[in-house]
Amino acid sequence: MTASTAKPAILVIDDEAQIRRLLRVTLEAAGYAVRDTETGALGLNDAAVNRPDAVILDLSLPDQSGLDVLRRLREWTHLPVLVLSVRGEETVKIAALDAGADDYLTKPFGGGELLARLRVLLRRTQPTDAPSVHRFGDVEVDLTQRTVTKSGAPVHLTVKEYALLRLLLQHRGKVVTHRQLLREIWGPGHEEDTHYLRVHMANLRKKVEDAADQPAFLRTESGIGYRFTV
């Protein structure tokens, strides 16, 4: 997959149109890509489909509690969540943090502080000891640049193929279960759709393995999942 370095993607879940507009202006001016929704259900769906780098979440939503949204998110992802709420009581903050929030900011807020807190959250999700370039055989994968080459030539992967390869590389040497792969790549509700994995793994092997029918690196753990061999 060859792609230019993408802007960090932020999902805003807030029912106030004015707040969404303010956040969009503030975040886009700072170099972020922004998506926004006004309900918890739409936000959960957007997070599963578009896989943002972080979420800014209001607690008072028209269809469900922001705390419920937090709990649902934490069932399948560890992406950073910054709660942005008019409620400043200590008990509410504690409840949000216990439900899975990474940080809490009360309204009204300053744009500078919001951006600083967001930068901290995004840094936490990018461990400095994790390798960004992986090499195996004559293949090189650069997770920072989001590029894959084989014998020096670009390899064009689909979004799902790249996500599958990236996740296995990040857990190099370990078995990653079907359920975990499906949850992380396709989102909640797809944990039983193992045929998705079979199709995409077959295509991925054709592109990066020398012999797709006898893979040297992307190994099947029968009935369990897949493993990238060290």
* Residue 5: predicted pLDDT: 44
Look at residue 84 in the predicted model and tell me its pLDDT.
93
Residue 3 lies in a domain: no
Asked if 187 contacts 106 with a C-beta cutoff of 8 angstroms, the reply is: no
Q: Is residue 25 part of a domain?
A: yes
Q: What is the extent of the structural domain holding 221?
A: 133-228
Question: What pTM was estimated for this model as a whole?
Answer: 0.57
Residues of the chain with confidence (pLDDT) below 70 = 1-6, 125-131, 144
pLDDT, position 130: 54
* Residue 142 within any structural domain of the chain: yes
Number of domains in the chain: 2
Which of 99, 124, 149 is the last residue before a domain boundary?
A: 124
Question: Does 2 fall in a domain?
Answer: no
Provide the CATH number for the domain around residue 151: 1.10.10.10
> What integer pLDDT is reported at residue 125 of this predicted model?
66
